[in-house]
Amino acid sequence: MSSLPRIATVVGSGTMGPGIAATLARAGVTVRLYDISTEAIERAEAAYGVVQGVLAAVDSPSAPGGSVTFGTDLDASLEGSELIIEAVPERLDLKQKVLADLEARIGDEVIIATNTSGIPITTMGKSMTLPGRLIGMHWSNPPHLIPMIEVIPGEDTDPALVEKLIGIVKAFDYVPVLEKEIPGFVENRVLYAILRECMALLDEGIVTPEGLDACVKWGIGYKLSVVGPTRLLDMAGLDIYQAVSGYLNKELDASTETPKLILDKIAEGKLGFKSGAGMYEYGPGDVDAKRKEIITGLIAARKTLSSIPEV
């Protein structure tokens, strides 16, 4: 029998919601995508069409019977749902409010998974009557293309739920990574360590944005897409790591605040693709073209990586 829920609800249809919904639907789940905003639901309906094409292109597991419906009526969206995936903005107060509100509308047996980027699950569950039903399920963006999900139980999570969620993730052919709870979880701790150093290098004028992107993409990203960091150390030699880390680690950026470079851009309204400018400037049509190039590249890379042995 499939571990997948028959009906699932995704709460929040922004950047992440449509891809999450589409991935589950393609695996045969009846998915209801809910948002508080009508405009967000309209955008999600348009995004869903594009995402479906991408899932077909990567030969994502396909089972009959799945579907996505879109709506702004919460009770209708929760009707019969066995799994709720919360994907509202990354604010603890908002998430706690949404979780408490959801709980008041559902039966005790319904599981709630949160897609938080790194807020501790235990903290989030403090607003809940049954925090045992809450678990972290952190998808990576774009969620319909990155086939790995972090599974993070909080202190109060029912242990049986951990195995259940791992079974669900495997059932749609993604790789579950079980982790102990820590702010940022594993993926974003690593990503944000890289991004902190990158922003410091740009701020100090050590390299251009184009140079940084080329260096990290080919020197680090390409290699790490084939060999993980632990195996990379064996390939390089632990003695080399000792020699370099001995003088380099103390030089690395250790700031604890968001870089000024980023705060200045945000103050100018430059948020990235969503506002037409960010780290780079975009002319008419450029954002759509870049999005397309990224998706095409990720499809090609995923196919290649899926066809080679794990090292």
Size of the site for ligand LTVM2SF3 (CB under 6 A): 5
**Are residues 30 and 7 in contact, defined by beta-carbon separation less than 8 angstroms?**
yes
Given ligand NAI, ligand LTVM2SF3, none, residue 127, with its beta carbon under 5 to 8 Å by kind, binds none
- Under the binding rule (CB under 6 A), the answer on residue 140 touching ligand LTVM2SF3 is yes
Minimum CB distance to ligand LTVM2SF3 smaller for 96 or for 188: 188
Q: Which residue in the shown chain puts its C-beta closest to ligand LTVM2SF3?
A: 117
- Under the binding rule (CB under 6 A), the answer on residue 15 touching ligand LTVM2SF3 is no
Given ligand LTVM2SF3, ligand NAI, none, residue 12, with its beta carbon under 5 to 8 Å by kind, binds ligand NAI
Distance CA(44)–CA(53), nearest Å, equals 14
- Under the binding rule (CB under 6 A), the answer on residue 117 touching ligand LTVM2SF3 is yes
Q: Which of residues 172-201 bind ligand LTVM2SF3 (CB under 6 A)?
A: 187-188
Binding mask 156-175 for ligand LTVM2SF3 (x = CB under 6 A): --------------------
- Under the binding rule (CB under 6 A), the answer on residue 114 touching ligand LTVM2SF3 is no
Sheet bearing 148-153, strands edge to edge: 67-71, 30-34, 7-11, 83-86, 111-114, 134-139, 148-153, 175-178
Q: How far is the CB of 188 from ligand LTVM2SF3 (least distance, A)?
A: 5
Given ligand NAI, ligand LTVM2SF3, none, residue 188, with its beta carbon under 5 to 8 Å by kind, binds ligand LTVM2SF3
Q: Where on the chain is the footprint of ligand NAI (CB under 6 A)?
A: 11-17, 35-37, 40, 87-90, 98, 115-117, 139-141
Binding mask 222-261 for ligand LTVM2SF3 (x = CB under 6 A): ----------------------------------------
In three-state form (DSSP H/G/I as H, E/B as E, the rest C), the secondary structure along the chain is CCCCCCEEEEECCCCCHHHHHHHHHHCCCEEEEECCCHHHHHHHHHHHHHHHHHHHHCCCCCCCCCEEEEECCHHHHHCCCCEEEECCCCCHHHHHHHHHHHHCCCCCCCEEEECCCCCCHHHHHHHCCCHHHEEEEEECCCCCCCCEEEEEECCCCCHHHHHHHHHHHHHCCCEEEECCCCCCHHHHHHHHHHHHHHHHHHHCCCCCHHHHHHHHHHHHHHHHCCCCHHHHHHHHCHHHHHHHHHHHHHHCCCCCCCCHHHHHHHHCCCCEHHHCECCCECCCCHHHHHHHHHHHHHHHHHHHHHCCCCC
Minimum CB distance to ligand LTVM2SF3 smaller for 66 or for 118: 118
- Residues at the annotated binding site for NAD(+)? 12-17, 35, 90, 95, 117, 141, 274
Minimum CB distance to ligand LTVM2SF3 smaller for 96 or for 140: 140
Task: Using CB under 6 A, list all residues that contact ligand LTVM2SF3.
Answer: 117, 140-141, 187-188
